[in-house]
Amino acid sequence: MFTLNLPQYPIKVAEQNGRKVVFDELRRKYVALTPEEWVRQHFVHYLVEHKGYPQGLVANEISLNLNGTSKRCDTVVYDRNACPRAIVEYKAPHIEITQKVFSQISRYNMVLHVDFLIVSNGLRHYCCRMDYATNTCRFLPDIPDYKELCAPEEMP
């Protein structure tokens, strides 16, 4: 499909009813293979296999209610106490990461109040850490490992 700025892995692609699908390890089912889904599957693999995120604490397509409207976060990462710690928003590789994308993920964060917001189009990845005391965020140079995402007392 697309070459991404993420580690390659043996992704499971198939055809069902004349359309391409990809196996989502988190949802344990095949889903439509779109450019955004291609990015999601590679990014989740990167988080789990290269950044130490426990697969059982990462969830795709999490529903939330925002001002009476049903929305879905692409991926949410939880700590070991089932508290959301990060929201990840994906875009297709041809979609530029703009302020509009950050505004979208910020709206989701009005509900979840996580400490980390991550955005990726598979080619460029951004992560910012929220500072609720000053109502600001700080961009990080890299996607944090899971141990950096959670307080020390939450680690095994």
For residue 24, what are the β-bridge partners? 29
CATH placement of domain 53-154? 3.90.1570.30
- Which of 96, 98, 147, 140 lies closest to 117, judged by CA? 140
Q: How far apart (Å, rounded) are the C-alpha atoms in residues 19 and 15?
A: 5
Q: What is the reported pTM? A: 0.92
Reported as a single tens digit per residue, the pLDDT across 12-64 is: 999 999 999 999 999 999 999 999 999 999 999 999 999 999 999 999 999 99
Instruction: Grade residue 151 by pLDDT with cuts at 50, 70 and 90.
Output: low
Task: Give residue limits of the domains in the chain.
Answer: 53-154
